[in-house]
Amino acid sequence: MFEKIQLYMIYLLGRFIKGDVEKDKKYLKILYKFIMKKECDFDSPKTYNEKLQYLKLYNRNPLYTKLVDKFEVKEYVKKIIGEEYIIPTLGVWDSFDEINFEELPEQFVLKCTHDSGGLVIVTDKSKFDKKKAKRKIEHCLKRNYFYNNREWPYKDIKPRIIAEKYMVDESGYELKDYKFFCFDGKAKSMFIATDRSADTETCFDFYDMDFNHLPFTNGHPNATKLINKPDKFEEMIKISELLSKDLIHARVDLYNINGKIYFGEITFFHWSGLVPFVPEEWDYKFGEWIQLPKEK
| pLDDT, tens only, 130-148 | 999 999 999 999 999 999 9
State the pLDDT at residue 91: 97
Q: How many Cβ atoms from other residues are within 10 Å of residue 150's Cβ? A: 23
Q: Domains in the chain and their CATH numbers?
A: 88-166 (no CATH), 168-296 (3.30.470)
Please say whether the beta carbons of 257 and 171 come within 8 A.
no
Separation CA 6–CA 10 (nearest Å): 6
pLDDT at 246: 92
Count Cβ neighbours within 10 Å for each residue of 197-225 and write b for 16 or more, e otherwise: eeeeeebbbbbeeeeeebebbbebebbee
Judge if the upstream peptide bond of residue 279 is cis by omega within 30 degrees of 0. yes
Q: Who contacts 20 (Cβ-Cβ below 8 Å, separation ≥6)? A: none
CA 168 to CA 157: how far, in whole Å? Answer: 28
Residue 286 is which amino acid? Answer: F
* pLDDT attached to residue 294: 77
Rounded to a whole number of angstroms, the distance between the first and last alpha carbons of the chain is 38
pLDDT at residue 189, rounded to an integer? 98
Q: How far apart are CA 111 and CA 284, in angstroms?
A: 34
Q: Facing residues of 121 across strands?
A: 109
Per-10-residue mean pLDDT of the chain, 296 residues long, equals: 89 88 96 97 97 97 96 97 97 97 96 90 94 96 94 95 90 79 98 78 95 97 91 96 97 92 97 98 98 84
Residue 174: its pLDDT value, please? 66
* Per-residue pLDDT reduced to its tens digit, 32-51: 999 999 999 999 999 999 99
Q: For position 197, what pLDDT does the model report? A: 65
